[in-house]
A and B are shown apart, each in its own frame.
Chain A
Amino acid sequence: MRTLWIVARREYARYFTTPAAYLAAFLFLLVLGIIFYSNIAASVMRSFMMPGYAPGVEIIVNPMTTLLIFMVPAFTMRLLAEEQRLGTLELLLTAPVRDAELIAGKWLGSFLFVATMIAITLLYPLTLNWLVKPSIDWGPVITSYLGLLLMAAALTALGTAISALFSNQIAAFVATLAFFLLLWLIGFPSSSTGGISSVWQYLDFSQHFYDTLARGILDLRDVIYYLSVAALGVFAGTVIIETRRWR
């Protein structure tokens, strides 16, 4: 466990020393700020037409989920791809570190960074609360942010595993993004044609967020879904690293 924490801390600290990570975080917050501003403006117009209307936290978290799909690959692409390119993976794999500890540590470091970014965006609900009288509903804020963290845990774990497959960061980025989009949209065809296959819907990444967590509903099934995807990612990453040894 201690080794895991050493790897995680180093990985977390590393984000703050690389310009690329700052740039990505900056973009994330900038885009979110622009969307927030225009949503507020739209809500003001809407409240003129529909007296009593007040925007909730969904105007912040819904665009944020989409942004995560695009940003997380940028934060996870280097995790193991870079180690392979530099040859430092050979060092880590010959140090007394279990493969699972290495992968879990990498994952935890990147998850904590994304979680930090998500925490910064709490400024928006606070701003919104200040704008809306008497106040916004805090229930959905809590479940939405829990949902965002769960989603970040799952996405970073998958990103870590995919990064282990490559020694080229760009390849890792593209593959991760493609996989995320697939997960994001997997339930879409079946739900639009009348929902024949509920399996696809259960696998769908967005289904577990928009319909429940974003509306203030805490369903254990959703929590389990995200946690099992995260565990699967760490497990797959470990297996990928282990099979590398046999090549």
Chain B
Amino acid sequence: MTQAMIAVQDLTKTYGARVAIDRLTFSAQKGEILGFLGPNGAGKTTTMRILTGYMPPTTGSAQIAGYDVVENSLEARKHIGYLPETVPLYNDMSVLDYLVYMGKLRRVPQVEDRAWEVLERVGMEHRADSFIGSLSKGMRQRVGLAQAILHQPDVLILDEPTIGLDPTQVVEVRRLIQEVGKEHTVLLSTHILAEAQQLCDRVLIINQGRIIAEDTPENLQLRLQGGARVLVDVAGEAGDDLLERLRALPGVRLANRLADGRFEVVAEEGQEVRPAIARTVLESGYGLLELHRAAMSLEEIFLQLVQEEAEEAALAEPEEAKAEETALEPEEAHTDEEA
């Protein structure tokens, strides 16, 4: 069995009474791009800061390349490249000097050659002598990324690497991450779901400090959708007769007519209904313009997961909530009188 590059067990961090992350457990293998997905304040940055040795966890443990981040912090840190959310750059240094300095701190051999190498990799070799303060946001991000991969770390931790970039820069940085992810284990946080979908082999969805789902982007879609959803566009004025026939097909759970005139067919789980749909449309005398399986976007998945969780929580404690309500009522009455 290959050793996990990132191994996290029951990681918890509390700030006073506030729980930032709550018993997180996950792992990532070599060469895997793991997406860390969640709304702002979900605990992504806190987790990353613990993994990089910036702050210790309250309880639980984490290993990077087999080294515990608390017990063996220096050794673990050697195996990490880190790009924090605010790109840490010295504005009064030139790009090359900055990389050479960071490389020296990390004991990179032949540091100048290596710095040029990563500059080429991020497409910044023409700005090697520019002061960092004069760079655009996208370029700063690229220098930050160059710094993170400089020492060829086993694990790359990127906190919102595409935040605040313009669309072209976003594409560039994503391409770079994909490239880098072939050799390194990447843990990437984002709150942009499309990004996770595009880049990651596996996605952890985190909300209020807890993992609420973990799977490949494709499987998450399948799992939440139940059966496949098929959209059918037909030529001509198709009426209710077609809708009835579609509903009658074996394996079809439901069929609807959408506002734009297309038909939406949802199949039972594990059923392939597309050939039957195509046949039915043609046999009914209509022309088939388009037939495709619609994917649920991660956005929808995310909202659904968060909602499901809230519902579960509500189901679990209705008694308590009621008790609180009744307890509150008399007090409220008092304050009203006083007022």
Residue ranges of A at the interface with B (Cβ–Cβ < 8 Å)? 3, 6-7, 10, 14, 17-18, 86-98, 245-247
In Å, the complex CA distance between A88 and B101 comes to 13
Chain B residue nearest in CB terms to A89: B88
Interface pair B92/A17, CB less than 8 Å apart:
yes
Residues of chain B with a CB closer than 8 A to A97's CB: 105
Taken together as a complex, chains A and B put the C-alpha atoms of A3 and B102 apart, in Å, by 11
List the A side residues contacting B56 at CB < 8 Å. 245-246
- B91 located at the interface, meaning its Cβ lies under 8 Å from any Cβ of chain A in the complex: yes
The 4 closest A-B pairs by CB, nearest first: A91-B88, A94-B52, A87-B86, A88-B88
Of B82, B86, B90, B92, the contact of A94 (CB 8 Å cutoff)? B82
Kindly identify which residue among B88, B92, B147 contacts A90, using a CB–CB cutoff of 8 Å: B88
- Distance from A99 Cβ to chain B, minimum over Cβ atoms (Å): 10
Binds A, one of B23-31, B72-80, B166-174, B209-217: B72-80
Chain B interface, number of residues (Cβ within 8 angstroms): 27
Chain B residues 63-109 with CB under 8 Å of chain A are: 74-75, 77-78, 80, 82, 84, 86-92, 101-102, 104-107
CB distance from A176 to the nearest CB of B (A): 22
Cβ A86 vs Cβ B91 within 8 A:
yes
A88 interface neighbour in B49, B74, B89, B107, Cβ under 8 Å: B89
Is A95 a contact partner of B102 (Cβ separation < 8 A)? Answer: yes
A contact residues around B123 at 8 Å (CB): none
Which residues of B (135-193) have their CB < 8 Å from a CB of A? 147
Q: Does B55 contact A (CB under 8 A)?
A: yes
- In the assembled complex, the CB of A28 is this many whole angstroms from the nearest CB of chain B, namely 21
Task: Check A90 against B105 for contact (C-beta < 8 Å).
Answer: no
CB distance from B60 to the nearest CB of A (A): 16
- Looking across the interface, which residue of chain A has its beta carbon closest to that of B73? A96
Given that A6-B105, A7-B105, A17-B92 are contacting pairs, would A96 and B74 also be in contact in the complex, using a CB cutoff of 8 Å? Answer: yes
Give the CA-CA distance A241 to B107 in the complex, in Å: 23
Contacts of A247 in B (CB 8 A): 55
Q: How far is the CA of A170 from the CA of B255 in the complex (A)?
A: 68
24 A-B contacts (beta carbon < 8 Å): A3-B105, A6-B101, A7-B105, A17-B92, A18-B92, A86-B91, A87-B84, A87-B86, A87-B88, A88-B89, A89-B88, A90-B82, A93-B53, A94-B54, A94-B77, A94-B80, A94-B82, A95-B77, A96-B74, A96-B106, A96-B107, A97-B105, A245-B56, A247-B55
B54 x A245 contact (CB < 8 A): yes
Q: Could you tell me if B106 and A95 are in contact, using CB atoms closer than 8 angstroms? A: yes
Q: Which residues in window 8-60 of B have CB below 8 A to A?
A: 49, 52-56
Q: Which of B82, B84, B101 contacts A10 (CB 8 A)?
A: B101
Residue of B nearest to A98 (CB): B74
CA distance A87 to B84 in the complex (A): 9
Interface string of B127-141 (1 = CB under 8 A from A): 000000000000000
Residues of B within 8 A of A93 (CB): 53-54
Q: Which residues of A contact B75 (CB under 8 A)?
A: 96
New A-B contacts (19) at CB < 8 Å, excluding given A17-B92, A93-B54, A95-B77 = A6-B101, A6-B105, A10-B101, A87-B88, A88-B89, A90-B84, A91-B82, A91-B88, A92-B105, A93-B53, A94-B54, A95-B105, A96-B106, A96-B107, A98-B74, A245-B55, A246-B55, A246-B56, A247-B55
- Cα A96 to Cα B151 in complex, Å, equals 11
Q: Which residues of the other chain, A, contact B106 by a CB distance below 8 angstroms?
A: 95-96
Taking the nearest CB of chain B, how far is it from the CB of A19, in angstroms?
A: 10
Contacts of B147 in A (CB 8 A): 91
A3 to B78, CA, bound (A): 13
Contact A88 B90, CB 8 Å, known A94-B80, A94-B82, A98-B74: yes
CA distance A86 to B54 in the complex (A): 16
Chain A residues in 8 Å Cβ range of B80: 94
Contacts of B86 in A (CB 8 A): 87
Within 8 Å CB of A17, what residues of B?
A: 92
Candidates A86, A88, A90, A96; contact of B78 at CB < 8 Å: A96
Contact of A86 among B52, B88, B101 (CB under 8 A): B88
> In the complex, which of the residues A14, A87, A91, A246 contacts B102, with contact meaning CB atoms closer than 8 Å?
A91
Contacts of A6 in B (CB 8 A): 101, 104-105
Q: How far is the CA of A95 from the CA of B104 in the complex (A)?
A: 11
* Complex-state Cα separation, A24 to B52, whole angstroms: 38
B53 touches A94 (CB 8 A): yes
Given A86-B89, A88-B90, A91-B84: A96 in contact with B54 (beta carbons within 8 A): no
The answer to whether A96 touches B77, judged by C-beta atoms less than 8 angstroms apart, is yes
C-alpha gap A89/B52 in the complex (Å): 13
How many whole Å from B72's CB to the nearest CB in chain A?
Answer: 11
Chain B proximity of A13: nearest CB distance (Å): 9
A82 to B104, CA, bound (A): 21
Separation of A87 and B54 alpha carbons in the complex (Å): 12
Q: Which residue of A lies closest to B157 (CB)?
A: A94
Instruction: Give the nearest-CB partner of A93 in chain B.
Output: B54
How far is B50's CA from A93's CA once the two chains are assembled, in angstroms?
A: 12
Return chain B residues, CB-CB under 8 Å to A94. 52-54, 77, 80, 82
Taking the closest CB of chain B, its distance from the CB of A41, in whole angstroms, is 41
Residues of A within 8 A of B54 (CB): 90, 93-94, 245
Chain A residues, Cβ within 8 Å of B53: 93-94
Question: Which B residue sits closest to A101, measured CB to CB?
Answer: B105
Taken together as a complex, chains A and B put the C-alpha atoms of A222 and B56 apart, in Å, by 41
The chain A residue sitting closest to B90, CB to CB, is: A88
